[in-house]
């Protein structure tokens, strides 16, 4: 196999010319301040048992990929979660606030690294989740509007919220 | 008998049909995704092809592409295809039913141009299965697949793309069916012919780590020249892709595992060319292909 080595220079040249890099929109602290202003947040160590994973997956219909749950409890008994779902290439990190009654009060995208689909940061799209409780359909083109051109991100964030609401229900029941 | 330069270009379908998958999970196969409205991608695809039965044969297909989303479901693509062929005593390297003789070739040219429209009907992320169609038209002035000979060819190629995702979209399975209708003439002797080329491509790719996909791709190709089945071959090989927010790079190696009996097997003296009855099709194709593709999104 012989080869004209100069051909190999073209792909790296394209890469070097390409813009990059990953975008962090909010830190955890900034998201807490936006979603739960004025509240004192206390980290809660949660490691899901096998039985809890099965319970969450059955209730939500969404696979639990990580047993460690990043959660904080507010003095109001509301909870704040930081979670990640799969994007096309990397993870989409988001934060979810759920009040003491089990209803979503806010969703923020913290980190988004995908080529397309960043429209999930749109406030109007995220606002659709407010008031959703465990048991809600949370299905694209049903109770959650899909964003054309961002379908994968919409689907996975929606599934993530559904899974976290089921997780919250399991954790709350345990207390 | 036509001179050697009048090589049938049935295999051009391979270039026309698979050089620019336009997606980054595979090297040869298309996925059903389209670029969102207003988004664009520039890509460079380099396919190195080598190994006949005898002699030295090395070719590079360079494809420069620009793709843009006209709507969230409709994508338009344009490509320029360049060729770089060097052959020394390579065998077999011929056209059907014609005398075979080794050639020395050293040529680089712009071989042709392509344009296509791709429409996404179903999304694998919310409809359970992905479905898209591509309509591609091409014009070729040279045969990049074999010896770079002069021709005038127009072709139209509709493609069906089916995609199914598993395991939270971390495992991607695709199947493509491309049927290319070709009409070509040979300026050297004024003759012309028609050919239908059918290519099946399939791929399976798994996200082994964030940004990294690894898998397998397969391709089966068949030509029907003036109503008669011409040849077929089957390739299989690994594919690896790295994708980030703004660019991706994929590398795919395909190895020919089987192919129809060479045309030349009927023409040559086995005492001269003892490997003529190969189990591979190596006159229009090669044993190995390595494709590296880089795309930038903007």
pTM metric for this prediction: 0.81
CA distance B179 to chain A (A): 28
* pLDDT at B177 exceeding the cut of 60: yes
Distance CA B29, CA B283 (A): 24
The residue among A14, A150, A154 with the most chain B CBs within 10 A of its CB, best to mutate, is A14
User: What ipTM did this prediction achieve?
Assistant: 0.77
Q: Which residue has the tokens 């297909």?
A: B61
Higher local confidence (pLDDT), B284 or A6: B284
For the stretch B213-268, pLDDT in tens is 999 999 999 888 777 767 789 999 999 999 887 888 999 999 999 888 666 555 55
Q: What residues of chain B lie within 8 A of the CB of A155, using their CB?
A: 125-126
Using an 8 Å Cβ cutoff, are B13 and B221 in contact? yes
In this predicted structure, the answer to whether residue B174 has a pLDDT above a threshold of 60 is yes
Question: What confidence score (pLDDT) does residue B23 get?
Answer: 53
Residue B185 pairs in a beta bridge with B152, B192
Rounded CA-CA distance B64/B224 in Å is: 29
Nearest Cα of chain A lies from the Cα of B72 at a distance, in angstroms, of 5
Burial-class residue B108 by CB neighbours within 10 Å (0-12, 13-18, 19+).
middle
Bridge partners for B52 per DSSP: none
Give pLDDT, residue A16. 53
Give chain A's residues under pLDDT 50: 1-2, 18-21
Residues of A within 8 A of B244 (CB-CB) are 20, 89-90, 113
What is the reported pLDDT for B48? 95
- Select the residue of A11, A65, A115 nearest B294 (Cβ to Cβ): A11
What is the residue whose two structure tokens read 């899974």?
Answer: A163
The residues in A 38-67 lying below 8 A from B, measured between CB atoms, are: 63, 65
What chain A residue is nearest to B87 in terms of C-alpha separation? A2
Contact B72 A23 (CB under 8 A): no
Helix (H) or strand (E) holding B15: helix B12-18
pLDDT of res. A95: 94
Q: Is B155 within 8 Å of B182 (Cβ atoms)? A: yes
A1 touches chain B (CB under 8 A): yes
Asked if B68 and B40 touch (Cβ cutoff 8 Å), the reply is: yes
Q: Determine, for residues B169 and A86 on separate chains, whether the beta-carbon distance falls below 8 Å.
A: yes
A-B contacts at Cβ under 8 angstroms: 112
Comparing B263 with B152, the larger pLDDT belongs to B152
Q: Please write the tens of the pLDDT for every residue from B23-37.
A: 577 999 999 989 888
pLDDT in tens, B43-77: 999 999 998 877 889 999 999 999 999 998 999 99
CB contact under 8 A, A116 and B39: yes
**Facing residue for B46 by CB, picked from A7, A141, A150:** A7
Residue environment code for A120-145, b if the CB has 16+ CB neighbours within 10 A, otherwise e:
bbeeebbebbeebebebebebeeebe
Look at strands B192-209 and B171-185 and give their pairing.
antiparallel
Nearest to B94 by CA among B105, B103, B85: B103
Closest residue, chain A, to B23 (C-alpha): A88
Angle (deg, nearest 10), helices A50-60 and A151-174: 130
Cα angle value B199/B22/B204 (rounded, 5°): 60
Tell me the DSSP string of A85-134: EE-SSSEEEEEEEE-TTSBEEEEEEEEE--SS-GGGG-HHHHHTTTT-BT
CA distance A155 to A140: 7
pLDDT of residue A173: 62
Torsion angle defined by CA atoms of residues B173, B43, A2 and B201, in that order, rounded to the nearest 10 degrees: 20
pLDDT on residue A88: 82
The residue of chain A with its CA nearest to that of B124 is A152
Alpha helices (runs of H) in chain A, residue ranges in sequence order: 10-17, 28-35, 50-60, 123-127, 151-174
> How close B228 gets to chain A, by Cα (Å)?
34
Residue B244 to residue A89, Cβ atoms within 8 A = yes
Tell if the CB–CB gap between A19 and B298 is shorter than 8 Å.
Answer: yes
Number of Cβ within 10 Å of residue A10's Cβ equals 15
How many Cβ atoms are within 10 Å of A100's Cβ, its own excluded? 12
Backbone angles phi, psi at B9, to 5 degrees: -110, 30
With CB atoms and an 8 Å threshold, state whether A10 touches B296: no
Testing the interface with A: which of B41, B244, B251, B288 to mutate, by most A Cβ within 10 A? B244
Whole-number pLDDT of residue B277: 61
C-alpha span between B286 and B51 (Å, rounded):
5
- In this complex, do A2 and B56 lie within 8 Å of one another by their Cβ atoms? yes
Tokens of B266: 């009927």
Contact across the interface for A90 and B123, Cβ inside 8 Å: no
- pLDDT for the residue A5: 54
pLDDT in tens, A75-98: 888 999 999 998 888 899 999 999
Q: How far is CA A45 from the centre of its chain?
A: 19
Answer yes or no: do A149 and B292 touch at CB < 8 A: no
pLDDT tens column, B73-93: 999 999 999 999 998 887 776
A116 touches chain B (CB under 8 A): yes
**Yes or no, beta carbons of B123 and A116 under 8 Å apart:** no
- Coil, helix or strand for B41? strand
Cβ <8 Å between A11 and B44: yes
Confirm or reject contact between A83 and chain B (CB < 8 A): no
Q: Is B51 helix (H, G, I), strand (E, B) or coil?
A: coil
DSSP for residue B37: B
Q: Could you give the CA distance from residue B190 to residue B150 in angstroms, rounded to a whole number? A: 12
Q: What pLDDT, on a 0 to 100 scale, did the predictor assign at position A8? A: 57
Contact in structure between B8 and B151 (CB atoms under 8 Å): no
Q: Does A89 touch chain B (CB under 8 A)?
A: yes
For B108-150, how does the pLDDT look when each residue is reduced to its tens digit (9 = 90+)?
Answer: 999 999 999 999 999 999 899 999 999 999 999 988 778 788 8
């Amino acid at each position: 196999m012989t080869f004209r080595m100069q051909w190999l220079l073209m792909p790296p040249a394209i890469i070097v010319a390409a813009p990059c890099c990953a975008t962090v929109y909010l830190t955890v602290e900034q998201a807490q301040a936006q979603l739960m202003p004025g509240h004192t947040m206390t980290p809660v160590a949660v490691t899901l048992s096998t039985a809890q994973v099965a319970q969450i997956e059955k209730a939500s219909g969404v696979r639990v990929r990580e047993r460690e749950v990043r959660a904080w409890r507010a003095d109001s008994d509301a909870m704040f979660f930081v979670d990640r779902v799969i994007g096309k290439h990397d993870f989409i990190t988001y934060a979810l606030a759920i009040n003491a009654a089990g209803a979503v009060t806010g969703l923020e995208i913290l980190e988004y690294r995908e080529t397309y689909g960043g429209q999930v940061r749109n406030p109007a799209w995220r606002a659709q989740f407010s008031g959703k409780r465990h048991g809600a359909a949370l299905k694209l083109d049903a109770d959650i509007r899909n964003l054309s051109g961002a379908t994968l991100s919409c689907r996975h964030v929606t599934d993530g919220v559904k899974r976290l609401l089921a997780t919250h229900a399991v954790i709350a029941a345990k207390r | 008998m036509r001179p050697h330069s009048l090589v049938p270009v049935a295999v051009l379908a391979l270039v026309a049909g698979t050089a620019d998958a336009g997606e980054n999970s595979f090297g040869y196969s298309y996925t059903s995704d389209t670029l969102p409205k207003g988004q664009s991608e520039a890509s460079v695809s380099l396919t190195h092809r080598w190994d006949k039965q005898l002699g030295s044969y090395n070719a590079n297909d360079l494809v420069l592409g620009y793709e843009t989303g006209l709507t969230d479901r409709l994508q338009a693509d344009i490509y320029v295809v360049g060729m770089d062929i060097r052959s020394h005593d390579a065998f077999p390297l011929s056209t059907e039913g014609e005398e075979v003789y080794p050639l020395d070739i050293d040529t680089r040219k712009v071989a042709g141009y392509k344009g296509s429209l791709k429409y996404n009907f179903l999304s694998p992320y919310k409809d359970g299965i992905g479905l898209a169609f591509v309509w591609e038209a091409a014009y070729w002035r040279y045969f990049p697949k074999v010896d770079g000979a002069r021709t005038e060819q127009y072709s139209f190629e509709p493609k069906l793309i089916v995609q199914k995702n598993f395991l939270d979209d971390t495992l991607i399975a695709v199947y493509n069916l491309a049927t290319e209708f070709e009409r070509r003439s040979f300026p050297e002797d004024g003759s012309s012919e028609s050919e239908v080329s059918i290519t099946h491509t399939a791929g399976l790719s798994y996200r082994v780590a964030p940004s990294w996909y690894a898998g397998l791709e397969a391709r089966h190709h068949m030509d029907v020249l003036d109503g008669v089945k011409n040849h077929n071959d089957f390739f299989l090989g690994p594919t690896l892709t790295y994708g980030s927010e703004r660019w991706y790079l994929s590398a795919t190696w395909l190895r020919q595992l089987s192919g129809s009996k060479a045309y030349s097997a009927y023409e040559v003296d086995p005492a001269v060319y003892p490997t003529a009855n190969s189990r591979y099709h190596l006159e229009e194709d090669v044993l190995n292909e390595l494709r590296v593709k880089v795309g930038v999104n903007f």
